[in-house]
């Protein structure tokens, strides 16, 4: 019930294309859904996040779509660039004893080819 | 404002030795979280600490692992009598408040020979 399932495991996209990564969760207590971007040898960095009362959030080329009834959310990267090549983690968090406990998906390794 | 700092970045230990990983949170942050990342896997929560207190250690293995966040100095994750299965990247994150966004450090990559 605490899991966050992420797919695909890896993704190759042509430069200029759209990258789509999907995640699903079971626990309806989750109330915050961040996406993290991780480059090799670095720590994850917060990319964009959404709360379940919103169906879509857009920041530049990055958009989160959220379907509360289906308990699914996805990251869309428009006009994908080689510099976007990284591993992307979806996550879900909920208040647990006064703090936000974060559960991560297993990650998607994105490669954008020129 | 310096980000979350972790050291060492790489640590090699032989089976049975102790590993000590350090994390200095961002300035003004008093909440620290430790995560473990196995190859090709996501991050798994280990422990959440505030200054001088362990708040949630539900993700910590019951034996050999311990964590502290003293009043002065960095947070430390200690692994005693390391085994090959402990080889992983260990990430520390910090936040300014308990419900705040977590900012991650660059990680310590532990290799157990």
Interface test with B, best of A42, A44, A104 (most B CBs within 10 A): A44
Asked if A100's CB is within 8 angstroms of B48's CB, the reply is: no
Q: How many CB pairs under 8 A join A and B?
A: 60
Q: What is the pLDDT of residue B100?
A: 75
Average pLDDT of B59-88? 95
Q: How near does any CA of chain A get to the CA of B113, in Å? A: 20
The answer to whether B106 contacts A106, with C-beta atoms less than 8 Å apart, is: no
Residues B19-72 have pLDDT tens digits of 999 999 999 899 999 999 987 778 999 999 998 899 999 999 999 999 999 999
More confident residue, B2 or A44: A44
Confidence at B6, pLDDT banded by 50, 70, 90? very high
A91-101: pLDDT as tens digits:
999 888 778 88
| pLDDT at residue A1 tops 80 | no
Compare B110 and B101 and report the one with higher pLDDT. Answer: B110
Mean pLDDT over B66-87 rounds to 96
* A106 chain-B contacts, CB cut-off 8 A: 40-42
> Using one digit for the tens of pLDDT, what is the confidence trace for A41-86?
889 999 999 999 999 999 999 999 999 999 999 999 999 999 999 9
Between B98, B101, B104, which is nearest A43 by CB? B104
Q: What is the pLDDT, as a whole number, of residue A11?
A: 97
- A43–B contact, CB cutoff 8 A: yes
Mutation for testing the B interface, residue in A47, A91, A100 having most B CBs under 10 Å: A100
Verify whether the Cβ–Cβ distance B98 to A103 is below 8 Å: no
Check whether B108 has a pLDDT greater than 80: yes
Checking if the pLDDT of B1 tops 60, the result is no
Instruction: Give the distance from CA A62 to its chain's centroid.
Output: 10
- Decide if B67 contacts B50 (C-beta within 8 A): no
Checking DSSP bridges between strand B19-24 and strand B10-13, what pairing results, if any?
unpaired
Do A107 and A87 touch, CB atoms closer than 8 A? yes
Q: Is A99 in the B-facing interface, judged by CB distances under 8 Å? A: yes
B98-111: average pLDDT: 89
| Secondary structure (DSSP) of A44-112 | -EEEEEE-TT-SEEEETTEEEEEETTTTEEEEEESS--GGG-EEEEEEEEEEETTEEEEEE---EEEEE
Residue B2's pLDDT is 73
């Amino acid at each position: 019930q605490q899991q966050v399932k992420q797919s695909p495991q890896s993704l190759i996209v042509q430069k200029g294309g759209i990258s789509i990564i999907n995640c699903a969760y079971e626990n309806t207590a989750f109330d915050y859904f961040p996406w993290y971007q991780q480059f090799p040898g670095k720590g994850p960095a917060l990319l964009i996040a959404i709360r379940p009362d919103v169906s879509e959030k857009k920041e530049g080329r990055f958009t989160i779509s959220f379907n509360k009834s289906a308990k699914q959310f996805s990251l869309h990267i428009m006009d994908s660039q080689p510099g976007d090549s990284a591993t992307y983690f979806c996550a879900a968090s909920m208040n647990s004893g006064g703090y936000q406990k974060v559960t991560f998906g297993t990650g998607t390794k994105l490669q954008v080819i020129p | 404002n310096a980000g979350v700092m972790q050291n060492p970045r790489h640590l090699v230990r032989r089976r049975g030795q102790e590993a000590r990983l350090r994390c200095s949170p961002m300035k003004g942050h008093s909440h620290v979280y430790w995560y473990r990342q196995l190859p090709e896997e996501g991050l798994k929560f280990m422990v959440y600490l505030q200054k001088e207190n362990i708040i949630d250690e539900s993700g910590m293995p019951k034996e050999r692992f311990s964590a502290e966040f003293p009043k002065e100095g960095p947070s430390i994750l200690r692994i005693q009598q390391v085994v090959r299965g402990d080889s992983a990247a260990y990430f520390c994150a910090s936040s300014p408040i308990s419900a705040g966004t977590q900012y991650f450090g660059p990680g310590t990559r532990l290799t157990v020979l």
